[in-house]
Chain A
């Protein structure tokens, strides 16, 4: 299992929207390495004949009829929002948007 690099950590941090100061990248790289190593022990199991699964229940085609159900009211929907304006969620400016 190859080691996690500083670049990997900063890439992951960016994807996760977390600020990690550059002097801590090595620290987290080591920690992530250790975690991956621990998880990697499952690869010791021979899975050559096992079909990968994405769901614990061996079932398919679970559908809902196209019939409207109850929705929330705007005030219920917005109850947990940090900021609200005009019945809408107020969020910081979205970068790259014109």
Chain B
């Protein structure tokens, strides 16, 4: 059921929003956090399970090194301090999605803490940077997947029930929690969206996760509270769970602001509770109430020894971090001299990495952009695959450009060469040899073709001789056709005029 809301403008007149964002990211490790079961998505139910992730008696966890390494790298990319010593803790609760009856998580000793992420938003005064402070990033494990069966119509068959698949139980998760985000004012929804987008870029850039929000490998919980003025204490917050697209993050913040404000203005209080987000209607509904204070009885996990990342290890990981995506984009745009639109085209089509690689290999910026946004995008589109998976190497583009510059290929032939390479006919030179695609550079055959063309339409020669040089186009076209595009059109024109004794 939906609740009363008020207009966004009225919220802003009377209240100041404070947000907290909790993002869970599923790591792309090969195996689960505490056992060797595969993390592969989409397997048959309960086939990626073992005594450890099923919580069978006597099973002991063994910590995935890449899980820890990924956590540290994420922390470093978010400007966090990395704990010198920390432990896992058991978060105890009964819920069938966790067969152990506890989730192995971290409590008061997160591996990463005190970081920040700068995000950019569009404001009335132009683009501005907003700093989001990070409270912590800690390691934990994902839960199993429940499918609820039965329901209203299931009464005849008795009570309804759930079916549980534990393939996902135990997949490494990193939970990244912000400090209260204050001072965003009317831009709160945009800041929330920009933060999750920037975080997603960083995580993708680190290669620690496939960060697919629609598949749940990146999930966001939105905490929101209102207060009358920034000087007041924080109000009671609601926690909207599983907001799973960037657009929804923005909408959920906006909706909760209007809902809270309506309640507060009506003299009601905000209940501290979890809320469910409904993508279709854009509203939240009440979930579990937190009034009977959760009591997870956290205690240090006795089956795992503490983690004490050496400073050498941390520095090694820091040195190997990829460049921050936002910094990198700004640097590339500047050094390539691209307009915002050109840059956005490359980013949106996910071509920046490929073009940068080609440029680094020696292809000109112009040519690399042209091939990737043009011919290669077209072919990828046709085959319904990513451009990257076409498998065109920078060396291929380097060689093609060399040949174009030296006159060995023209644009049309280059496209045919690329087509051959894409069809698996070999490298550039092999395709040229096999298909006989080189530009005809010997003047003899060209002159023969010119004479043939003139013989076919003698009137053209007269026109050109009488000064209508534009008539040369027809001859050049005929020669190009006769040589199946393998002539250098400029050279054909030169030869033609020379042959007729005409100068331009």
Contacts and interface: CB of A to CB of B under 8 A. Distances in A.
Given A64-B36, A77-B166, A88-B45, A17 B295 contact: no
A66 B162 contact: no
Contacts of A88: 45-46, 147, 163-165
B163 A66 contact: no
Contacts of A62: 62-63, 304-305
A94 interface: yes
Contacts of A77: 46-47, 49, 54, 166
A87 B87 CA distance: 35
B295 A70 contact: no
A15 to B, nearest CB: 6
A71 B146 CA distance: 20
Interface in B42-100: 44-51, 54, 56, 62-68, 85, 87, 92, 94-96
Interface residues of B, number: 57
A91 interface: yes
Given A15-B295, A71-B38, A94-B95, A85 B163 contact: yes
A74 B160 CA distance: 23
Contacts of A57: 305
B336 interface: no
Contact of B65 (A60, A63, A71, A87): A63
Contacts of A66: 29-31, 64-67
Given A60-B305, A61-B307, A64-B63, A94 B148 contact: yes
A49 interface: no
A73 B37 CA distance: 11
Interface string A73-89: 11001101000011111
Interface string A2-16: 000000000100010
Nearest to B61: A64
Contact of B159 (A15, A54, A64, A92): A92
Contacts of B147: 88
Most interface-central of A17, A55, A73, A85 (chain B CB within 10 A): A55
B374 interface: no
Interface residues of A, number: 38
Interface in A26-57: 54-55, 57
Contact of B31 (A54, A68, A89): A68
A53 B162 CA distance: 40
A89 B64 contact: no
Contacts of B445: none
B63 to A, nearest CB: 5
B301 to A, nearest CB: 8
Contacts of A93: 148, 150, 159-162
B48 A96 contact: no
A66 B308 CA distance: 19
A61 B295 CA distance: 29
A91 B94 CA distance: 12
Most interface-central of A17, A72, A78, A98 (chain B CB within 10 A): A72
Given A55-B302, A62-B305, A64-B65, A71 B47 contact: yes
A53 B163 CA distance: 39
Nearest to A98: B276
A54 to B, nearest CB: 4
A91 B64 contact: no
A23 interface: no
B288 interface: yes
B162 A63 contact: no
A86 B47 CA distance: 12
A28 B270 CA distance: 37
A90 B46 CA distance: 12
Nearest to B89: A54
Nearest to A58: B305
B63 A63 contact: yes
A69 B32 CA distance: 10
A57 B92 CA distance: 24
Given A17-B94, A55-B305, A89-B163, A68 B295 contact: no
Contacts of B276: 98
A93 B158 CA distance: 11
A17 B191 CA distance: 42
B49 A72 contact: yes
Contacts of A69: 31, 35-37, 50
Contact of B46 (A54, A87, A94): A87
B367 to A, nearest CB: 40
8 contacts: A54-B306, A63-B68, A69-B37, A71-B36, A72-B49, A78-B46, A88-B46, A97-B148
Given A66-B29, A71-B47, A93-B150, 20 more contacts: A60-B85, A61-B308, A62-B62, A62-B63, A64-B64, A66-B67, A68-B36, A68-B37, A71-B48, A77-B46, A77-B166, A80-B56, A87-B46, A89-B163, A90-B162, A91-B96, A93-B161, A94-B95, A94-B148, A98-B287
State the 8 A-B residue pairs at the shortest beta-carbon distance, nearest first.
Answer: A69-B36, A54-B300, A63-B65, A88-B163, A66-B66, A60-B308, A64-B62, A91-B96
